[in-house]
Amino acid sequence: MRGRTAHGTALFVAAVLAVVLFAGARASAQTLPGQALAFDRSKGNCLTCHDIKGGDSPGNLGPPLADMKTRFPDRKELAAIVFDETKRNPQTVMPPFGRNLILTDGEIEAIVDFLYTR
Amino acid sequence: MRVWICLAATCWLFRAGAAQAASTEADFKTAMAVAETAEQDAGTLKNQWIPTEQALAAAKKAAAGGDFDAAVAQAKEAEALAKASIAQAKEQQTAWKAGIIR
Amino acid sequence: MKIFRTMASVVVTIMIATLIVAGARAAAADSIDPDADFKAFRDYFTKLFPNVPLNDFVNGPYSMDAELRKQWEAIDDFPPYDFAIDRGKQMFATPFKNGKSYGDCFPDNGIGIRQNYPYFDDKTGEVITLELALNRCREANGEEPYSYVKDEMASLTAYMAFTSRGKPFDIKIPDDPRALAAYQKGEEYFYARRGQLNFSCASCHVQNPGNHIRTEVLAPALGIVAAMPIYRSEWNGMGTMSRRLVTCNSQVRGVPLKPQDELYRDVEYYLSYMSNGLPISGPGARP
């Protein structure tokens, strides 16, 4: 009895691992969800104002988004900027993506993940 | 044995997550009334947002199709958007001056 | 006892005097001064763009971007708004069913007067734009008003602008608190953030003239109404002042007001006053 249970558990775990790895592999072969959100005009629409590697015809109202890990080592700070930059700069033209319900918290986190790859 | 317990537990968890109280038409009407009143107030301030109107339309459409869970969710989203637009208008009544070229 | 009463009177007098002075100062700070605004507005843009001749601001993005300007000059032999001028001229000359025509509603038969609009009408206490005046003319003569965002209105205003090409804006704010209030409402509309995207008109046209959103170069607010109505390549057609305001609202995800809403007329009044002295360049072409 014991031998068969251990064997069954191992199979189950292996199956789960296989599914997870397979799904993970598919995600990285496609665009990162954060990049899709950042470039989507109805979501982050970041290229309208920011030059970001991987995007075309960017605007220049905001600074280029590069070296983000170096410039924003504090993830919370970067997320706060996306959520509501008017808190730091009342005259900013950057939309408050969180405060004005343009992006969900999850979407902001995904975009931050993406920005950290730039 | 442990495998089956794991699987059963997982299934139970999923079921528990899905088993929230289903919204009724009455729930929808209440949520919609709140949202529409807020949007009217935003209209008085001449500051309605397009996504609010879209959420109200989506709520009506979902309700017409009998999906009151979705309808209530959209109505609540519309309410949140309308309230955000009202907050913006009220804040801007004084904040606008900060941008004037002097 | 008497000394306390005297002291109390003195203190109260001082307090009242202070309040009056403070009140006067507060009123002065809040008082509307279009001429001071005008000077500050002009200085801001001419300092920001010292190499742009003053009159060139009426060319919007073309005054900001040399590459864009080359493209614009290339199409100038066959301006895309020519058909609108021709149509507008024909419409203007065609009498209404009652025998009257547009010229009867306007000074100088409606020719060469566009630079005086908008004006403040002290009889009705409101701002009258050219588009509003045209539709009121139609209605006064038994005709249906035109849509403010479609081609008929664009053709009429294109023709009238064309007859005023080169004439400097001459917008007046009479010494009337209602006119000053309309001016200030227009100024407020211009600077207030709106829409889910939280932009004011100033966000683009004061803070970012010459910069570009995606590939679109932003025009400076100085002179921005001088080229109306415009043929926009992006629209494949003409756009009236009303259409532009409605579109700007939607672009920041704000539900547009009705064309020629009081606030739209007020903001046109404000922007036109800020452009006083600059030449009418309409009808214009834009990317």
CA A10-A13-A16 angle, to 5 degrees, is 150
Tell me the residue range of the domain where A12 lies.
1-30
Give the DSSP per-residue string, C38-70: HHHHHHHHHHH-TTS-GGGGGGGGGGT-HHHHH
What are C95-115's pLDDT values in tens digits? 999 999 999 999 999 999 999
pLDDT at residue number C24: 43
Closest C-alpha to C189, from B100, B76, A14: B100
What are C219-250's pLDDT values in tens digits? 999 999 999 999 999 999 999 999 999 999 99
Same domain, A22 and A41: no
Binning pLDDT at 50, 70 and 90, where does residue B20 land? Answer: low
Q: Find the radius of gyration of the CA atoms of chain B.
A: 21
Measured in whole angstroms, the distance separating CA B65 from the mean position of its chain's CA atoms is 18
Tell me if B46 and C37 make a contact (CB, 8 A cut-off). no
Query: Which class for C67: exposed (0-12), middle (13-18), buried (19 or more C-beta within 10 A)?
Result: exposed
Q: Identify all chain A residues contacting B88, using CB atoms and an 8 Å cutoff.
A: 100
Are C212 and A57 in contact by the 8 Å Cβ rule? The answer is no
Touching B (3+ Cβ pairs <8 A), the chains are A, C
| Distance (Å, whole) CA A55 – CA B2 | 50
ipTM: 0.87
Same domain, A25 and A39: no
Tell me if C195 and B97 make a contact (CB, 8 A cut-off). no
Same domain, A13 and A64: no
Residue C81: other Cβ atoms inside 10 A: 24
pLDDT at residue number A11: 64
Domain boundaries, chain B: 22-96
Same domain, A105 and A52: yes
In terms of CA atoms, which chain A residue is nearest residue C203? A93
What are A8-17's pLDDT values in tens digits? 666 666 555 5
| Residue with token string 């459409």 | B61
Q: How many Å is the maximal CA-CA distance in chain A?
A: 71
Give the predicted TM-score (pTM) of the model: 0.85
* CB proximity A101 to C under 8 Å: yes
Helix, strand, coil percentages (3-state) for chain A, rounded to 5, are 55, 0, 45
Domain boundaries, chain C: 1-31, 34-287
* CB-nearest partner of B3 from A9, A100, A101: A9
Which of C152-162 are b and which e, b meaning 16 or more Cβ less than 10 Å from the residue's Cβ?
Answer: bbbbbbbbbbb
Tell me if B77 and A101 make a contact (CB, 8 A cut-off). yes
* CB-nearest partner of B51 from C40, C196, C200: C196
Q: Is C248 a catalytic residue?
A: yes
Tell me if A47 and C214 make a contact (CB, 8 A cut-off). yes
What are A82-93's pLDDT values in tens digits? 999 999 999 999
pLDDT at residue number C179: 98
* CB proximity B99 to C under 8 Å: yes
Tokens of C152: 């008929």
Average pLDDT over residues C260-281: 98
Are C267 and C186 in contact by the 8 Å Cβ rule? The answer is yes
Q: Look up the CATH superfamily of C34-287.
A: Cytochrome c-like domain (1.10.760.10)
What are C26-57's pLDDT values in tens digits? 344 457 899 999 999 999 999 999 999 999 99
Same domain, A55 and A9: no
* CB proximity B94 to C under 8 Å: no
Q: Check residue C231 and report its DSSP letter.
A: E
Residues ≥6 apart with Cβ < 8 Å to C213: A48, A49, A59, A61, C204
* CB proximity A90 to B under 8 Å: yes
Same domain, A1 and A45: no
| Distance (Å, whole) CA C156 – CA C85 | 8
Backbone angles phi, psi at A59, to 5 degrees: -85, 180
In terms of CA atoms, which chain A residue is nearest residue C204? A93
Domain count within chain A: 2
SS (H, E, C) C74-131: HCCCCCCCHHHHHHHHHHHHCCCCCCCCHHHHCHHHHCCCHHHCCEEECCCCEEECHH
Binning pLDDT at 50, 70 and 90, where does residue C3 land? Answer: confident
pLDDT at residue number C29: 41
The lowest-confidence range among B38-52, C64-78, C249-263 is C64-78
Q: What is the CATH number of the domain that holds A49?
A: 1.10.760.10
Measured in whole angstroms, the distance separating CA C183 from the mean position of its chain's CA atoms is 10
Tokens of A4: 């068969």
Bridge partners of C284?
C230
* CB-nearest partner of B102 from C40, C253, C254: C40
Percent of chain C with pLDDT over 90: 87
Q: Check residue B97 and report its DSSP letter.
A: G
* CB-nearest partner of C202 from B49, B85, B99: B99
Closest C-alpha to C199, from B54, A108, A45, A75: A45
Tell me if C199 and A48 make a contact (CB, 8 A cut-off). no
